[in-house]
Each structure stands twice: as C-alpha cells, then as structure tokens.
A and B are shown apart, each in its own frame.
Chain A
Amino acid sequence: MNGKISYERVLRDYLTGELKALNAHLPARQKTLADLFKEEYPQVLCNDGSVHLFKRRELEYIDGLLDGDERSRLLLPILIQISPDRSEVEAFCPGMVEAKVIQKVIGMPLEVKSGRITLYRRQLAVLRRHLKTTTQYVFAPPV
C-alpha cells in the first residue's frame, strides 16, 4: 500500500474501536444483590479494569421489591442490549428474578422469551430513571 493506510482499514478500525469503547464497561462478573449488600462500597470490576459503583439507595429499592431468598439469585447489573435497526431493546433475564424486578419497576406484566424481555424506549426510560447504576447497556454489533 506504499505506506498508506487503506480507507477500509480506517473504517473497520473505527467500527471495532467504537464497539470496544461502547462495551468496555461491561462487568467482568456480575454479583448477586446479597453479595453487594455485604460490601462497604458495592461495586463490580469491569472488563476495561475500571470499577462500576452501585448506589446503596438503588440496591435498597430493589431489595424492597423482592421476597425471600431472591436477593441471592438476582445478578447485578442487569444488562440491556441495544440492537441496531430496532426501536425496542432487550433486557437479559437469566433467572426470573431480573424479570420480576423489571416488571415491578415498569409497573406492568412483560413477556419473557428465551431469557429476554423486550422493552420499548419509553419503558427503558422509566427503568433507567429508577435503576441508573444497577442496569448497563450492551451494544450489539450491527449486521
């Protein structure tokens, strides 16, 4: 290429870089609500080495929505996937506890399909208003 960087490589590098930057904050490992309550400063380690801090007020709010041993089954932060070309987003619910929390926060029953809940942008706004630090965005690569 005579020392020149190809145009495609620039675009490809930009796309990869953008995806990496958008998803760098994803937790290396999710923690249960019960574990987070034991910590003085509830936090999780992210993939980029940074630390994501949870607000105790939010954890207490979620705790108020749960019964019995559910706090030891709820994995935080709850991941919300943004897919291109779709106006809806998907929240990951590996256990049904996440679904319960989302339904209670939004205030309506929602269908869980293969461990995911489909949310409209308006519902997402409500969810994010209540659970700022206990939810995180995942950006899916565009096809």
Chain B
Amino acid sequence: MPQLIKVTRPTKIELIKLRRRLSLATRIQKLVKDRVSILVMEFLQIAEQTVQVKRSMLEDFASMYRSLSVSAGYHGYIALEKELIASEGGLDIAAGLRNIGGVKIPAFELKKTGKALRGYSLTDTSSWLDRTAELSEKCLEAIVELAELQRSMAQLGTEINRTKRIVNALEHLIIPGLQSTIKYLNMKFEERDREEKSRLKRVKVLLERK
C-alpha cells in the first residue's frame, strides 16, 4: 500500500497541485523508462560483442604463441631476440568519448602505422616471423577493442542500476503515492458535498417545521 503524501489542507488548490505533480512524475517516468530500455539494449550488444572479441583474441593469442615458438626453433633465441629488438616501436591510440543516453563511454582506436616493413631484416628471417608479427598486431588490436568494450560495459551497468532505482522509486512509490493522495482528496470532497447536502436538508426540515 503506497503511503499518502501529507497534505497540509485538503483544498481544491492542493488537488490541482497534486495533479500537476502527477503529470510531471509520469512524464519523468516515461523518459527514464525509455532511457533504461536503450541502455539495456546497448549493454546487451556490448556484452555479446565482448564475448566474441575475447574468444577470437584468445584464439589469435594461441596461434601467435604457436607461430612464435616455431620461429624461435627455426632461428634460435639469440637471433630472434636480435631481430625483435630492432622492430620495437611505440603505439598510437586515438582515444575519445562517445555518449549513449547520457553515459559517456570511451572509444579507442589503434592507429595503423602504415609501414610496409616491421623493422627486422627480411633477408635474415623467415615467413614464420612475418606470420608471428602479423598475429601479434591482430592481438594488439583485439586488446584495445576489448579495453573499450569492458570499460563501456562497466559504465553502462552502473548507469542502468542507478536509472532503474529512479524508475522503481517513481513506479512504486511516488506515482502511486500521488494517485492515492488525489483519490483521498476526491473522496474527502465528495464526503464534504454529501455532508453539505444533508445539512441543507436538515435546515429545510427545521424551517418547514417552524
């Protein structure tokens, strides 16, 4: 049973105010409900995508390590290390924000270097090392994508929780409270009307008797 809102005086002005409050609360509820539905849709999509990206990343990592161990066996550790030191370089990640229903979530994108050569000697190395480098670049892209997805998921989840609390408060407390107070006031006014009618009847009878 929703609680009644305390009305200082049961007057028509109070009733009008309460009706206005109810209409405002209903408008807010509609807006917040829409927001929750959009956020949930986005959250589910991101969750699905996270699973896909994580699965493919693990597969890529497995094949990358396999390829790396083959190339280590083929070239030897010392020669391989010498080649890999030459290919070390920095990463360029474009980081920004995007907004989904009032939630700011990160957007990362690994910038492609566009270099044809990776830094190691092509004459001293085999295609196994090329394959390893290619797969490790793919893994790096997946890591960046996964970072964005996981952070987005956490932020959307927090916002969904917060918004759902507002929806619940409106749906189960504020709006029913306002409705029952309006009902209570209407009943009070009807009761007042009935009292007034019976009072007038009584007065009429008294006057007739005189």
Contacts and interface: CB of A to CB of B under 8 A. Distances in A.
- Report if A and B associate in a common complex: yes
Given A52-B97, A53-B97, A133 B30 contact: no
Interface in A18-33: 18-19, 21-22, 24-25
Contact of B99 (A12, A25, A84): A25
B41 A18 contact: no
Given A133-B98, A133-B107, A139-B101, A11 B21 contact: yes
A129 interface: yes
B24 A8 contact: yes
Interface size band for B: 20 to 34
A8 B20 contact: yes
Given A11-B25, A15-B28, A125 B45 contact: yes
Contact of A41 (B33, B42, B94): B94
B30 A85 contact: yes
A15 B98 contact: no
Given A24-B102, A82-B38, A137-B100, A15 B24 contact: yes
A52 B95 CA distance: 10
Given A41-B96, A52-B99, A12 B24 contact: yes
A121 B41 contact: yes
B210 interface: no
Contact of B34 (A7, A55, A84): A84
A34 interface: no
B20 to A, nearest CB: 6
B17 interface: yes
A18 B107 contact: no
A7 B22 CA distance: 11
Contact of B96 (A18, A53, A128, A141): A53
Interface residues of A, number: 38
A82 B24 CA distance: 19
B201 interface: no
Contacts of A14: 28
Interface string A102-131: 000000000000000000010011001100
A124 B41 contact: yes
Given A52-B98, A124-B41, A18 B30 contact: no
Nearest to A56: B109
Which of A15, A24, A82, A142 is the most central at the interface, judged by chain B CB atoms within 10 Å of its CB? A142
A22 B96 contact: no
Nearest to A122: B41
A75 to B, nearest CB: 17
Contacts of B102: 18, 21-22, 24-25
B199 interface: no
9 contacts: A11-B21, A15-B28, A15-B31, A21-B102, A22-B35, A41-B94, A52-B98, A125-B41, A128-B42
Q: Closest 10 CB pairs between A and B?
A: A53-B96, A25-B99, A84-B30, A142-B30, A11-B24, A142-B27, A21-B102, A22-B102, A53-B107, A15-B28
